[in-house]
Structure 1
């Protein structure tokens, strides 16, 4: 997921100076220039990213910035379209066995940037390499249900036993543990990209650390990468679908502070920037201002072992006592929207194309008076007259603002409630959560794949993402049933019911808001696709128009 970084004023100035000199902004192509002999706008896009790319090794990459680069310079069996649905990329044919366990892919003719053909062996090598090195996203092979993936991660089997085999250069066979409705969707994720074995082994531990020690087989190729300053894409003329690619170049500049980004935007050095909440009021009336929904959510975890917070009425009261609209519209002002469910709106449609959030509606909403009634009832049930608890938060500015708002809301609206804020570094916040050594914890979650299940199976007993000792056997059983259901309509009903168990039946967490983003983007920039999971951006179909 994207990293929004903040720096001191001193670092801001230093970064700005370095960018202007080191990345040669003064000579970067502006998008309103004309190509010689061509009346159309120059197809050059200038954008920012908040951090450098740690690695472009698809078997090791674990951050949204690397995923975006890999998505645009490489290609796998499938990629995401404008609706975030999987479409065939290097696969021209995908045949399932009758039991939906064996999947056979036929590859199209395509080449790496060094001229070598992309083969089925490239997929087998890369996928087994993920498992061999126990890479960060190896669990995606388990989620995809690929045969022996879980046993390999548990060190019960060898990586060579992963259920993938190159039948010949153009035929790839993948074997699953059982039918998996998520399989095709997951294949768009960068961890499932191919790699050229000979080239990887020649590069050794330097592979993918610079632009000239990685191969490209996607819409673009990297032609420059200056660490901590930026990188440049150029159209890959050897790409199999090069005719669909409109942009000639993309210049990406590492800009770690929103104020620096807006300065660059104002001087027409870049075409798209993110705004901090402090800058929203200044630009909200600009014709190029936009707010965008993101797929991440922020919510309150409750320690379900706590003698008072373990009470469902208390949890409902806390949920209902917070004015979420004021939180997003007055405090955050960054495009975030109130959320009263665990699956965010605008991304996950049913088989008949209805939004998940619209179908299931809102949970645990009501008036302050209703919240106070539940509060009094919960205190009576637990034998208490008041309650003092603490909230575990990361020490970021945004989390501090949110926690202070929640503190004021709960102490004002629930008589006898006292909330102490305990801010710690982000990594320590996670340690505290995993140990369940908190009362309340301000948490966030970004999806791993484009399906509601990525928000719903978090709450399995002893699951790594549960982190609050919540358990409902009905939920666990229904997750197992939904994972094996291949009738998509029936499965979607199960997903809806999973959320109802979590929130309607148990009020297990308190959703706060769906994350948003406020941006400035020039009107002439068309068809930059923004995805909720995996790679954030696809530039394959992007263009610049007058």
Structure 2
């Protein structure tokens, strides 16, 4: 997922959680409508700072801030619980076949859209097929690759291209959904927590036409909250959804979200009681780190610099290696001062472990450690091959205080260590930046990725030649073959070997991206606010369990 993360972020932020699905037609049920029911007689309003929303269409090109909103106003078959385990949402149970290729989901009969229409299995079948149709193709349809015929339907020269009725999904009745997979997928349930797998009501979508999801008047909701008063780039309000099947377990009445790019402003509003929860930047960490409101954590979000190989200079591998090796990434840790780690990788640390408890990063701690002498050698070699003495490049970045500081540091380091380089920084609001990146109208881009589901491939598949988020013209046959093999491999050791080699090819051999840092996160939350659930993937944040004491 793009981090605004995000890019996507982005900001923000896992995966071979091997969901042991055993036994013929094994029944799995772990939630009920009565679980955790609590109500409050007092009007409870949570006030938070937020990043701007790119879209509220679950089939759109969403980033982390958008996915947070969608996770709270919609609900799929499953959602992540407070312990970040997939738990039943609209589904109440499922059965899986012995070969783990066939899933049968039973849906709750009390779930409704905010207009009173029942949420049915047909809504999921419609949305999933719509995500595959060439006329409404979702940028995140690649996440649906485990579904039977998904890849074939999206492949233009395949005989099944655009034949969405061949997709491995069928509503056998209003409350039964049959799903067929191409290959066993150990992370399938975690995939279901991502917005592209959420339902859409066909009658309502078609009644809205091209206006669907362009504003709050053009949406219906099936999640814990509805969305009101959305002002692009400014603010919005979540209201408790009285039609939500689990409304009795939602204690809070509304959430006021304000887009605040300046941390000092957010801190002042927090101190004055205008905000209950905010993100914190480096200059405030020492001031608040010993307070009970402060929290620090390591996210599974990795920031990196995309290098658009459509640019003639960046098509040269020696120039790319010079740019990757030519700046001291370790300094980022002190600059950010929020627990972030210098990164020489794209799959984060402490994200996925195998059955023995070994971290994915154990084989390769990273690639291309900073080496300014080696960077200069690559730089001079690249300049000679290109027949130039100077190069001017532009670094596309976000417009927040933090990204401005980091981008300026990278500029200063590279201009100092690579003679003849001029690096200009172009800061843009999130939506505009993502648009430029998606159109590949950039040279270098301060980007990043948070996982969409609990598996290392979530960070690597975006660099596959055919992935819709390969926004930098990178293509490597061996890399693609390793990713394709990992989709089908069921042996975890072999699968991880494929993915680890793919990451090495991406960074060490090709310097397709320059990893920057794995994100730390520091926040301030009022001590009387409990139950904000942060997730490492999927919807990233859930408010349905929030209580204000």
Q: Shorter-normalised TM-score: what interval? A: 0.7 to 0.9
- Cα 1:145–1:163, aligned 2, differ >3 Å: closer, same or farther? closer
Listed as ranges, the matches of 1:352-431 within 5 Å are 352-357=356-361, 360-365=364-369, 371-372=372-373, 375-376=376-377, 379=380, 388-394=390-396, 396=398, 401-412=405-416, 414=417, 417-424=419-426
Report the CA distance shift for 1:523/1:320 in structure 2 as closer, same or farther (over 3 A).
Answer: farther
Match of 2:447 among 424, 431, 444: 444
**Aligned residue for 2:145?**
143
Q: Secondary structure, in 3 states, of the residue corresponding to 2:537?
A: coil
Residues 223-269 of structure 1: CA deviation (Å, up to 9, x unaligned) = 84354542132264x644456x3523232232334344323211213
5 Å matches for 1:41-80? 44-51=45-52, 54-55=55-56, 57-60=57-60, 62-80=62-80
Q: Which residue of 1 aligns with 2:104?
A: 104
CA distance 1:339–1:82, change in 2 (3 Å): farther
More helix by share: 1
The aligned counterpart of 1:495 is 499
Shift of 1:334: 5.3
- Candidates 230, 249, 253, aligned match of 2:253: 249
Alignment of structure 1 residues 296-375 onto 2, 5 Å: 296-301=301-306, 310=316, 318-330=323-335, 332-333=336-337, 336-357=340-361, 360-365=364-369, 371-372=372-373, 375=376
Q: Cα 1:476–1:61, aligned 2, differ >3 Å: closer, same or farther?
A: closer
* Superimposed CA distance per residue, residues 260-284 of structure 1 (whole angstroms, 9 cap, x where no aligned partner): 4323211213210123455556545
Aligned 8 A contact 1:393 1:399 in 2: no
The answer to whether the 8 A contact 1:211-1:224 is kept is: yes
Once the two structures are overlaid, the 10-residue window that deviates more, 208-217 or 339-348, is: 208-217
Q: Deviations over 1:310-350 (max 9, x none)?
A: 456x76665444222323423x4455431121112243333
Figure out how many residues of one structure are paired with residues of the other and give that number. Answer: 500
- Equivalent pair of 1:52/1:230 in contact (CA under 8 Å): no
Query: Bigger CA drift: 444-453 or 193-202?
Result: 193-202
Q: Does 1:93 align with 2:93?
A: yes
1:128 lines up with 2:129 in the alignment: yes
- 1: distance between equivalents of 2:347 and 2:299? 12
Unaligned 5+ runs, structure 1: 6-33
Contact kept? 1:221, 1:233, Cα under 8 Å? yes
Q: Structure 1: how far apart are the matches of 2:474 and 2:151?
A: 27
Q: Answer yes or no: is 1:171 the counterpart of 2:172.
A: no
Q: Which runs of 5+ in 2 are unaligned?
A: 7-38
Using the alignment, how far apart are the partners of 1:422 and 1:361 within structure 2?
A: 31
* Mapping 1:506-521, distance limit 5 Å: 506-521=510-525
TM-score, length of structure 2 as denominator length: 0.75
| Preserved contact between residue 308 and residue 379 of structure 1 (Cα < 8 Å) | no
- Report the alpha carbon displacement of residue 115 of structure 1 after superposing the two structures with TM: 4.7
The question of whether the paired residues in 1 share the 8 Å contact of 2:154 and 2:161 is answered with yes
Larger radius of gyration: 1
Between 1 and 2, higher relative CO (CA 8 Å, sep ≥ 6) is seen in 2
- Name the stretch that deviates more: 441-450 or 263-272: 441-450
What SS class does the counterpart of residue 324 from structure 1 fall into? coil
Structure 1 residues 381 and 70, CA, compared in 2 at 3 Å: closer, same or farther?
A: closer
SS of 1:417's equivalent in the other structure is: coil
The alpha-carbon distance between structure 1 residues 322 and 288, as it changes in their structure 2 partners (threshold 3 A), is same
What CA RMSD, in Å, does the superposition of the two structures yield over aligned residues?
4.1
* Distance of 1:435 and 1:71 partners within structure 2: 28
Match of 2:239 among 217, 228, 233: 233
Q: CA deviation at 1:121?
A: 1.5
- Give, in angstroms, the shift of residue 117 of structure 1: 3.6
Contact 1:93–1:106 (CA<8 Å) still a contact in 2? yes
Q: Is the 8 A contact 1:95 1:105 kept in 2?
A: yes
Query: How far apart, in 2, do the equivalents of 1:333 and 1:80 lie?
Result: 29
Distance 2:475 2:69 in 1: 39
* 2:263 counterpart of 1:262: no
Per-residue deviation at 1:435?
6.2
